[in-house]
Amino acid sequence: MIHEKIEIQLKDSEFKANLFTYFLDNSPEIDLGRKRPVVLICPGGGYEMTSDREAEALAVKFMAMGYHAAILRYSVAPARFPEALLQLATAVAMLRENAEKWHIDTGKIVVQGSSAGGHLAASLGVFWNKPFVAEALGMDSEMFRPNGLMLSYPVITSGEKAHQGSFEKVLGEDYADEEKRRFLSLEYNVSKDTPPTFLWHTAPDDTVPVENSIRIKTRSVMGTEIPLVEYDKQSSNTPTYAYYSTKLSLDEAKAAFERVKELSIQLSMIENAAIRLATNIKKTQKRANALKNITIPRYETLTRDITNALEEKEREEFTRLKVIKRMKQGG
């Protein structure tokens, strides 16, 4: 096994992350040139710690299944966004750069994250091609693009169902800024460039609400990416409570609640689509107004000036020819 501890420190940063590798070495008796997928693990901990429960135990399990594994002990509070994100991107780039040495299949680099670590993994999934990441690291974004995500009960939204503690820790004093909280609400950043994702959650999770894990895809309407929410309805025939000491009204209330939840999801999808379309329509209207009131009048004035100049030149040429003709006749 190739087991190393590698320190990651970004330029001009006081914070350090540690990458622990759990790589299966190749055997000359079996397949010396074998390359394996790698799972890069981001433990949870609310951005104030990285939990041991979601670290080495997972790495050992993945190794037993024939995968390489690595654990990123990323920086937590008082480190602020995007410190941990840049550390994770650096770790992915490091896996690609050392693929030959560590026998890694560069087309199968998967980032796994649990809870707040899931937020970090998902952040790389939606932000990997954003200029601010590549500019901060000074490298091509393809170097740290994950090929897939594995999200376990992840923190996703900063909205009503948010795990507020995670956002308070990762944003610090910026937590009061609604725009910055929304920026890190990852359901608004999913696009066609987000890598394939396996996401799982448990309904009774008391820490991170299951609503964080409703699946979100996108579709394009007039060039605008609209979230498409997929929600698996639970079977109403499988109650999670005992039959005795209950009434029919409880079943009816449960069914009504599930219906309200389904309609709320549909409403949020429609509302989000309306907001995005309205925003783009407004931008288009501004462009149309700029064309109508600025660009077109400017070109009309320019055309008129050019036309007048040509006509003036034509008159001058006509006058000059008349003078020349008169001079020839007088001579």
312 part of a folded domain: yes
Q: Domain check: are 32 and 172 in the same one?
A: yes
Asked which of 42-56, 59-73, 238-252 is least confident by mean pLDDT, the reply is 238-252
Mean pLDDT over 56-82 rounds to: 96
Mean pLDDT of the chain: 87
DSSP 8-state code for residue 2: B
For 302, the domain range is 237-331
88 part of a folded domain: yes
More confident residue, 96 or 190: 96
- The pLDDT score that the predictor gives to residue 100 is 94
**Distance, CA of 39 to CA of 108 (rounded, Å):** 8
| 162-171, 201-210, 218-227 — most confident range | 162-171
Q: Domain check: are 90 and 136 in the same one?
A: yes
Q: What is the pLDDT of residues 246-292, one digit of tens each?
A: 677 777 887 888 788 778 878 877 887 788 788 888 888 888 888 88
> In the predicted model, is pLDDT for residue 121 greater than 70?
yes
Helix ranges (H only) for the chain are: 56-64, 83-97, 99-102, 116-127, 131-137, 164-171, 178-183, 248-290, 296-330
222 part of a folded domain: no
Are the C-beta atoms of residues 22 and 14 closer than 8 Å to each other? no
* Per-residue tokens: 170: 């990762």
Q: What is the pLDDT of residues 206-232, one digit of tens each?
A: 566 555 555 455 666 666 777 666 665
Q: Domain check: are 173 and 244 in the same one?
A: no
Q: What's the CATH code of the domain at 90?
A: 3.40.50.1820
For 43, list phi and psi in degrees, rounded to 5: -65, 155
209 part of a folded domain: yes
| 4-18, 160-174, 195-209 — most confident range | 4-18
Q: Domain check: are 57 and 133 in the same one?
A: yes
Q: Domain check: are 66 and 208 in the same one?
A: yes
225 part of a folded domain: no
> In the predicted model, is pLDDT for residue 237 greater than 60?
no
Q: What is the pLDDT of residues 86-110, one digit of tens each?
A: 999 999 999 999 999 999 999 999 9
> In the predicted model, is pLDDT for residue 152 greater than 60?
yes
Number of domains within the chain: 2
